[in-house]
Amino acid sequence: MRERWQGFCTQRLPVIRTRWLAALPIIVVSLILLFGLWGIFGVKYVSMAAFLTLLFRTRHKQDFRPRDLVRAGATMVLVDLAAFMAGRGLWWALGMNLVVPFVLVYLLSSKFSPKAYFVFSMEFVFLQLMPIAPEDLPTQLLALCCGLGVVTVALWLYARIIRRRRHYGTVRKGMRNLGLQFRTLACGGDVSAQRAALAPMIVHMNQVIYDSRGYTYLANGYGKIYYLFMVLFQRCSYFSQHFVRLGTLPPSGDRMFFARLSQVFAQAETDLGGENHGQLRQRVEELRRGPGPSDPAQYEAMGEILRLFAIALQAMEDTSPAQPQRKWKLPPDQHKLRGLGNLFRLDQFSTRFALSLSTVLCLGFGFVWLTGWEHAYWYPMTSFLMLMPYAEESRMKIGNRILGTMGGVVVSMCLMSLFHTMPEYLAILTVMTCFMYYAPVTSWTMTVYTTCYGMTLAHLRLGLMQASGLRLAYVALAAVTATLANRFLLPNTAGREFRQSVKELFDLDRSFLQQVRALCQKGGQDGSEMTDRLVRIHLLEDQIQAHWKGMSGPEQTYYRQLLPINRKLVSELEQINAYLRSRPQLLGTGYSRTAAEVLDNLEDAILRVQRSYTAQELEPFLQTDDSFRTFGRLQDSLYFNTLAVNCMQTLREMNELAAQPRT
């Protein structure tokens, strides 16, 4: 018994304490919203506490950005007005529930941010639960604005006082990693583990960049800076893998250079954006102008890395984190406002889910208006909470909701039979709120607490047995509806999205290469399209990796080999492109024409490999031999020549992998 208690104290208790501390700010905000809205505006406005708390929960670990909060607040006001219109009658409910959820999902969500719609759609659904009269609309808007004010103050306090969050946390973590890498290289050690640890940071940074985009631009200032450092990390990772022989002690001059570089990265971890930021930038410039690695290819590669490092540091001084980067325009194929012609393309992730969600909510609220049954709004509300962008997650939500509701009804019946006064009900709501935000979001236990929370509010109007029976009946009806929609109404399954992602990955590879070739042939390119392609390639690779868990062993092995090869190819193309962009005097010369010829061969090879992956029609691959080491006028740049040769070798590896059996 004593050993169990000691094990609990040393293992479980620290985890529980950490989870409670993480949930405490959310719990405090939720309780303030709940009792504040109830006490000032009345019980019919307490539903706002749910989606306002969710707004805080989704943003409290981000930097405090007033511009984003103003945009979110304006969207919530518009959604409030739409919910009010949906409460005007049956036909208004049908029309608004067809249009509003569709628009929210289409404009806000994608396969890389599938739940960006959730807070605003939750607001739209919850505000319809108790329709209000026109004279109550100003009160509802005032309650919403007061709730948004509470969330804004809470986010400011959390960012400035409670969390004291450092800006660019992942960048700093990556700087620490690079400092360790180059210190290890200076000693002739193996940096494979540090390089592997850098990969998930790069993926996270791409998600931050993608999340910062707007309706017309690719990133705000914060996303732009993250992009520059993401590319820097990608190049450093490539350098340690393909320009350095691991396990070999470098010459003394190289050791000194790597040691100095390690010190600069270590300084960057603490001085980025701080008082010593200018000194850091000066040290990088000194390192660029001073002696570098003795190997010519390493020297050129490191020169490109330090040049980008200097650009990123300068951007931190010149760029406002919240400022939209208007020059980084969304490519036409990603512009949702201009691409309304793609609104009903059923092969698109967001369109498929938008149609499914809109249909289910239209059916649910149509049922509410046609029947007029007591608490019938539990049906569309539960359907909304069960239906998720991915079919597999929806199945899990349906099961958790059924199990959690049954458990919550049992717990509620026990509590309501013991406690009967309003102070006791308030205490139950407080306890359930605490456990609601402590429990994992994906667990069925969270549904137990939310059910008890809802049943306590319902018990203020209904008898215990009636409320329990209605809750179970509506959850069963919602489960049937969500299951049918999840099965037959354009479901986004993991298998389908996996195949789409593999196809899209090759399309983006070719598009990325075509932009590099356009620079060689025409002297110009769409830089925004290059940025968009690179970010989406990284996110697609991450999605492919997340979806292969249910595959057979050979299939997993197949794609485990594919992704590193593709990642290497993209890094090589990015470096070739940056090399030419930084030397415009080479464009339009024999140098760039020779490079364009190499890129033509590369695109042809990518197309052949793509066909072998998608149609399994393996075609003869472009043959190279060991003497294929220089490309005419490119031979005076060992760095560029190394990248070009490596590109061809990378595509040969992809072609060899394509010939392997996958099952």
Answer yes or no: is 230 within a domain. Answer: yes
Query: By the 8 A CB rule, do 85 and 92 touch?
Result: yes
Q: Which of 434, 457, 485 is the last residue of a domain?
A: 485
Whether residues 100 and 215 share a domain: the answer is no
Whether residues 263 and 179 share a domain: the answer is yes
Q: For residue 294, what is the domain's CATH number?
A: 1.20.120
Three-state DSSP state, 48? helix
Residue 157 parent element (H or E)? helix 137-157
Answer yes or no: is 367 within a domain. Answer: no
Answer yes or no: is 520 within a domain. Answer: yes
Mark residue 190 as left, alpha or beta (left: phi above 0; alpha: psi -120 to 50; beta: remaining).
beta
Whether residues 160 and 176 share a domain: the answer is no
Query: By the 8 A CB rule, do 236 and 253 touch?
Result: no
Chain position carrying tokens 């090879």: 605
Q: Which of 485, 506, 532 is the last residue of a domain?
A: 485
Give the pLDDT score at 630. 42
pTM for this model (two decimals): 0.88
Query: By the 8 A CB rule, do 29 and 150 touch?
Result: yes
Whether residues 30 and 143 share a domain: the answer is yes
Chain position carrying tokens 């932009």: 515
Q: For residues 476 and 89, what is the distance between their CA atoms, to the nearest angstrom? A: 26
- Report H helices in 243-295: 252-271, 277-289
Q: For residues 536 and 555, what is the distance between their CA atoms, to the nearest angstrom? A: 23
| Range 620-625 contact pairs with CB under 8 angstroms and sequence separation of 24 or more | 621/651, 621/652, 621/655, 622/648, 622/651, 624/648, 624/649, 624/652
Query: By the 8 A CB rule, do 109 and 390 touch?
Result: no
Q: How far is CA 473 from CA 116, 375, 467, 469, in A?
A: 30, 11, 10, 6
Answer yes or no: is 353 within a domain. Answer: no
Q: How far is CA 267 from CA 194, 272, 292, in A?
A: 18, 8, 19
Three-state DSSP state, 110? strand
Tokens matching residue 87: 């409460």
User: With 0-12 CB in 10 A as exposed, 13-18 as middle and 19+ as buried, what is 504?
Assistant: middle
Chain centroid to CA 648: how far?
32
Give the pLDDT score at 319. 87
Q: What is the DSSP string of 102-139?
A: HHHHHHH-BTTBTTTTHHHHHHHHHTTSS---GGGHHH
User: With 0-12 CB in 10 A as exposed, 13-18 as middle and 19+ as buried, what is 543?
Assistant: buried
Query: By the 8 A CB rule, do 577 and 645 touch?
Result: no
Closest CA to 492 of 505, 480, 501, 504: 501
Q: What is the DSSP string of 307-345?
A: HHHHHHHHHHHH--TTSB-TTSBPPGGG-TTT-GGGTT-
Give the pLDDT score at 16. 78
Answer yes or no: is 258 within a domain. Answer: yes
Answer yes or no: is 338 within a domain. Answer: no
Answer yes or no: is 15 within a domain. Answer: yes
Residue 195: domain span: 169-318
Whether residues 549 and 428 share a domain: the answer is no
Whether residues 468 and 500 share a domain: the answer is no
Q: For residues 177 and 96, what is the distance between their CA atoms, to the nearest angstrom? A: 51
Whether residues 450 and 408 share a domain: the answer is yes
> Count H helices, E strands: the chain?
24, 0
Answer yes or no: is 327 within a domain. Answer: no
Q: Which of 113, 143, 166 is the last residue of a domain?
A: 166
Three-state DSSP state, 499? helix
Whether residues 194 and 309 share a domain: the answer is yes
Query: By the 8 A CB rule, do 534 and 566 touch?
Result: no
Whether residues 434 and 505 share a domain: the answer is no
Computed on alpha carbons and rounded to an integer, the radius of gyration of the chain in Å comes to 28
Give the type of residue at 227: Y
Give the pLDDT score at 661. 63
Give the type of residue at 591: Y
**pLDDT tens digits, 530-579:** 999 999 999 999 988 887 776 777 777 878 888 888 899 899 889 988 88
Mark residue 95 as left, alpha or beta (left: phi above 0; alpha: psi -120 to 50; beta: remaining).
alpha
Chain position carrying tokens 């969270």: 446
- End-to-end distance of the chain based on CA atoms, in angstroms? 50
The residues of the chain scoring below 70 in pLDDT are: 1-3, 5, 7-8, 11, 162-166, 247, 338-342, 550, 586, 589-592, 594, 612-637, 658-663
Whether residues 506 and 644 share a domain: the answer is yes
Closest CA to 109 of 361, 397, 352: 352
Say which residues have a Cβ less than 8 Å from residue 345's Cβ, sequence separation at least 6.
Answer: 351
Q: For residues 225 and 203, what is the distance between their CA atoms, to the nearest angstrom? A: 15
Mark residue 124 as left, alpha or beta (left: phi above 0; alpha: psi -120 to 50; beta: remaining).
alpha
Say which residues have a Cβ less than 8 Å from residue 514's Cβ, sequence separation at least 6.
Answer: 603
| Range 88-93 contact pairs with CB under 8 angstroms and sequence separation of 24 or more | 89/369, 90/366, 90/369, 90/370, 93/128, 93/362, 93/365, 93/366, 93/368, 93/369
Number of domains in the chain: 4
Give the pLDDT score at 520. 79
Q: For residues 532 and 530, what is the distance between their CA atoms, to the nearest angstrom? A: 6
Query: By the 8 A CB rule, do 423 and 429 touch?
Result: no
Whether residues 71 and 150 share a domain: the answer is yes
Tokens matching residue 481: 């509806």
Whether residues 502 and 640 share a domain: the answer is yes
Tokens matching residue 170: 């992942």
